[in-house]
Chain A
Amino acid sequence: MKAVLTGNESAAWGARLSRPKIVAAYPITPQTTIVEKIADFIANGEMDATMIHVESEHSAMATCISAEATGVRTYTATSSQGLALMHEMLIWAAGARLPIVMSVVNRAFAPPWSIWSDHMDTVAERDTGWLQFYAENNQETLDSVILAYRIAEDRDVLLPAMVTEEAFILSHTVEPVEIPDQGAVDDYLPPLDLPHRLRPGEPVGYGSLMMPDQYMEIRYRMARAMRRARRVEEKAYEDFWDTFGRLYAPVEEYKMDGADVALVIMGSIASTAKDVVDSLRERGRKVGLLRIRTFRPFPAEEVRKALSSMDAVAVLDRSYTFGHLGALATEVRSALYGSSPPIKNYIVGLGGRDVRVRDLEWIVSDIEKVAKEGLDREITWVNLRGGEE
């Protein structure tokens, strides 16, 4: 069914079609309309789920953990400070191997207060053991919720997953979206069958003290599950293509054939960048785009394959890890270790600052200069008032 939806309505549709039984959430701008839409679905009898109102994001995740532990599919959504408040429970969800799916509307951290977009909130949760998928548009925001359940719930994975969409740029922007058919989603996404679910009458305990002679193996199993998720993800995309006719990949190569320099981008800026790449290509500039959809598990092999023959690589981060580079630049550099062209990191669009066509064109010109003359500096903040020191 063709519709025009906001990113948040798309996320809510993704949840509805995935048939979670429990939705627990606490409102925060700009996530709120996801949960409002789901409340409408439930009230209208269009979604058979129970909405549990809680007093904080920490409790929202605790509620999802409790429900999911009994083998019930759960969903939640949050943003920014709300995600940060969940942090402890995120680690718990992953450690307990509960494939909860959550939409995160990327919003900058306070202070100073901002309701606008950047990736700091989800990048800060990189190491919690959650899978992370960054959507480029509203269609992907919807599809990724379904995909996330399919990948997360696979027995070889059993890790929680977050799907991100950027504040306002996607969350409150209306675009044409194809809403998949419920029957097709049901075929694609079988009911959750959690092997270690709690059952009445079969008392077991999880999460108790583990001595040093055993703890490390538990973490290794999580690491192995992340690694296996790569293969599960590929299969999920193949089947998604067969069922719904839309193609996804952990890494999307756009006009990389014959490119001398490449932009590497996560999220909605990649969408604008496709227009920029097209127009520069028409003018004979050899630039391509590598869009990173899956940040965890990081698709290092694909990144290496796509980028190692470039003359120079521009990595755009809509976030920053204080004291070093942006998180994506760090990952790309490590993926290319030993075979690396010059990589320059561009910090862009924090707190919702618009990343315009002319900004992207400037980055391409700058990285072309790096390709000719070598690296002048490893990181630069783009479009900074007053410039850098």
Chain B
Amino acid sequence: MIEIRFHGRGGQGAVVASKLLARAVVEEGKYAVTFPMYGVERRGAPVAAFLRVDERPIRLKTLIYEPDIVVVLDPALLALVNVFEGLKEGGSVIINYGGDPSRLPVDRGKYRLFVVDATGIALDLGLGSRTNPIVNTAMLGAFAGATRLVSLETLERVVREGAPAKKEENAMAVRRAFESVREVT
């Protein structure tokens, strides 16, 4: 079983993203369960969403304490939330970051680091506003590119079907992020 935690802000679409990803995983014949942080979320506040992926039906109904992968939709959260909490040694961190990755406070001796400029992709495709770009679908593409847990084709199709608006642009964001995500070594 692979356990994944998404960090975002209320209104950024982390929960929608985790649902789309679950659908894509299930369409490829695997099993997925996803749930939001059981909180009282507000727009702009740090939120989390969780995803389990397995080859077998998933029966665990507990929260996730030791994720294998962490996805960070907003790099500013690194200063607010311990996004590495419980992350398994050798686990992966996928961060939306367009700057110089050596400036990110990630212990690269312990974790694999992937970066993608999801904000740049979202702005370029007109997803969200200039001040509040919607990066969730780009981050899904980055997730698929970094982990290969789901194929680009399935993810693009699921996003095109399931995105609440701008379906083509969101599918495009998936592809661009899939192709541009890179591991920092």
- Residues of A whose CB lies within 8 Å of any CB of B are 2, 4, 115-116, 137, 167-170, 172-176, 268-269, 271-272, 274-275, 352, 354-357
CB neighbours (8 Å) of A175 from chain B are 33, 58
Chain B residue with the shortest CB-CB distance to A30: B38
**Cα–Cα, bound, A274→B18 (Å):** 25
B23 engages A4 (CB within 8 Å): yes
A4 engages B62 (CB within 8 Å): no
Q: Which of A4, A116, A137, A268 contacts B38 (CB 8 A)?
A: A116
Q: A168-B35, A168-B38 are in contact. Are A272 and B19 (CB under 8 A)?
A: no
CB neighbours (8 Å) of B58 from chain A are 175
CB neighbours (8 Å) of A2 from chain B are 26
How many residues on the B side are at the interface (Cβ–Cβ under 8 A)? Answer: 21
CB neighbours (8 Å) of B38 from chain A are 116, 167-169, 172, 352
CB neighbours (8 Å) of B23 from chain A are 4
**Cα–Cα, bound, A168→B60 (Å):** 14
Q: Which of B35, B59, B63 contacts A172 (CB 8 A)?
A: B35
A176 engages B31 (CB within 8 Å): yes
- Check B32 for interface membership: any CB of A closer than 8 A: yes
Residue in A167, A173, A269, A357 with the greatest tally of chain B CB atoms within 10 Å? A173
Q: Which of A172, A174, A176, A271 contacts B61 (CB 8 A)?
A: A271
**Cα–Cα, bound, A116→B38 (Å):** 8
B40 CB → nearest A CB, Å: 7
A357 engages B62 (CB within 8 Å): yes
Q: Which of A4, A137, A167 contacts B26 (CB 8 A)?
A: A4
A147 CB → nearest B CB, Å: 21
**Cα–Cα, bound, A274→B56 (Å):** 14
23 contacts between A and B (CB under 8 A): A2-B26, A116-B38, A137-B59, A167-B38, A172-B36, A173-B33, A174-B19, A174-B22, A174-B32, A174-B33, A174-B35, A175-B58, A268-B61, A269-B61, A271-B59, A272-B59, A272-B60, A272-B62, A274-B59, A352-B38, A354-B62, A355-B62, A356-B63
CB neighbours (8 Å) of A355 from chain B are 62
- Check B119 for interface membership: any CB of A closer than 8 A: no
CB neighbours (8 Å) of A169 from chain B are 35, 38, 61
CB neighbours (8 Å) of A356 from chain B are 62-63, 65
Chain B residue with the shortest CB-CB distance to A117: B38
Give 1 or 0 for each of B98-138: 1 = CB within 8 Å of chain A CB. 00000000000000000000000000000000000000000
- Check B12 for interface membership: any CB of A closer than 8 A: no
B62 engages A176 (CB within 8 Å): no
B20-49: which residues lie under 8 A (CB-CB) from chain A? 22-23, 26, 31-36, 38, 40
CB neighbours (8 Å) of B26 from chain A are 2, 4, 176
A184 CB → nearest B CB, Å: 22
Chain A residue with the shortest CB-CB distance to B37: A168
**Cα–Cα, bound, A271→B62 (Å):** 10
A36 CB → nearest B CB, Å: 14
CB neighbours (8 Å) of B63 from chain A are 354, 356
**Cα–Cα, bound, A272→B36 (Å):** 18
| Other 18 A-B pairs with CB < 8 A, given A170-B61, A174-B34 | A2-B26, A137-B59, A169-B38, A172-B35, A172-B36, A173-B34, A173-B61, A174-B19, A174-B22, A175-B33, A175-B58, A176-B31, A176-B57, A269-B61, A272-B62, A275-B60, A355-B62, A357-B62
**Cα–Cα, bound, A193→B19 (Å):** 40
Chain A residue with the shortest CB-CB distance to B38: A168
Residue in B22, B23, B35 with the greatest tally of chain A CB atoms within 10 Å? B35
B22 engages A275 (CB within 8 Å): no
**Cα–Cα, bound, A4→B53 (Å):** 13
A328 CB → nearest B CB, Å: 18
B85 CB → nearest A CB, Å: 15
**Cα–Cα, bound, A176→B26 (Å):** 7
A357 engages B19 (CB within 8 Å): no
Q: A4-B19, A4-B22, A176-B26 are in contact. Are A271 and B60 (CB under 8 A)?
A: yes
CB neighbours (8 Å) of B22 from chain A are 4, 174
B162 CB → nearest A CB, Å: 10
CB neighbours (8 Å) of A271 from chain B are 59-61
A357 engages B60 (CB within 8 Å): yes
CB neighbours (8 Å) of A116 from chain B are 38
**Cα–Cα, bound, A275→B32 (Å):** 16
B73 CB → nearest A CB, Å: 18
CB neighbours (8 Å) of A268 from chain B are 61
CB neighbours (8 Å) of A167 from chain B are 38
A107 CB → nearest B CB, Å: 11
CB neighbours (8 Å) of B40 from chain A are 115
CB neighbours (8 Å) of B59 from chain A are 137, 271-272, 274-275
**Cα–Cα, bound, A175→B57 (Å):** 9
A373 CB → nearest B CB, Å: 29
A2 CB → nearest B CB, Å: 7
**Cα–Cα, bound, A361→B52 (Å):** 21
A126 CB → nearest B CB, Å: 23
CB neighbours (8 Å) of A357 from chain B are 60, 62
B123 CB → nearest A CB, Å: 29
